[in-house]
């Protein structure tokens, strides 16, 4: 369930896969609290960014629900110019560390 609505998808398997099935009661007890904490932390982080200064808490909550954390190792490429990352529609905020931008000629 996403926002109390059933969701469906079609998936094609290219490599062997193991599927974990989690009962809703177990999800609610063990996993959901982690998501709620993570979303609240992202709302706090977004609320101090000037890009979101005029946003209501409701809008910040909606944004936090659809964002995900991603960690990168030192020296790892985050994205490349011209790469179709997430179909070209994405936003990144830097929580910690330093990014270097460079252009290949």
Express as a percent the part of the chain with pLDDT over 70.
Answer: 86
Neighbours of 46 (CB within 10 A): 19
Say how far apart CA 62 and CA 52 lie, in whole Å.
12
Is 78 inside a domain boundary? no
Is 44 inside a domain boundary? yes
**What is the reported pLDDT for 96?**
83
Is 7 inside a domain boundary? no
* Beta carbons of 60 and 47 less than 8 angstroms apart: yes
> Does position 56 have pLDDT exceeding 90, yes or no?
yes
Using alpha carbons, select from 60, 105, 102 the residue that is nearest to residue 79.
102
| Higher-pLDDT residue of 4, 78 | 78
Is 12 inside a domain boundary? no
Is 3 inside a domain boundary? no
Is 15 inside a domain boundary? no
Is 31 inside a domain boundary? yes
Is 100 inside a domain boundary? no
**What is the reported pLDDT for 67?**
83
Give residue 40's domain range. Answer: 22-67
The whole-number average pLDDT for the span 63-79 is 84
Average pLDDT, the chain: 81
Query: How many domains is the chain built from?
Result: 1
Say how far apart CA 10 and CA 19 lie, in whole Å.
14
């Amino acid at each position: 369930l996403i926002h109390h609505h059933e969701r469906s998808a079609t998936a094609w398997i290219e490599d062997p896969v193991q599927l974990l099935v989690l009962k809703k009661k177990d999800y609610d007890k063990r996993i959901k609290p982690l998501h709620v904490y993570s979303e609240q932390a992202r709302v706090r982080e977004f609320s101090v960014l000037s890009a979101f200064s005029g946003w209501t808490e409701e809008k910040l909550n909606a944004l936090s629900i659809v964002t995900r954390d991603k960690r990168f190792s030192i020296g790892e490429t985050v994205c490349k110019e011209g790469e179709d990352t997430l179909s070209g529609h994405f936003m990144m905020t830097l929580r910690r560390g330093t990014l270097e931008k460079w252009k290949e000629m």
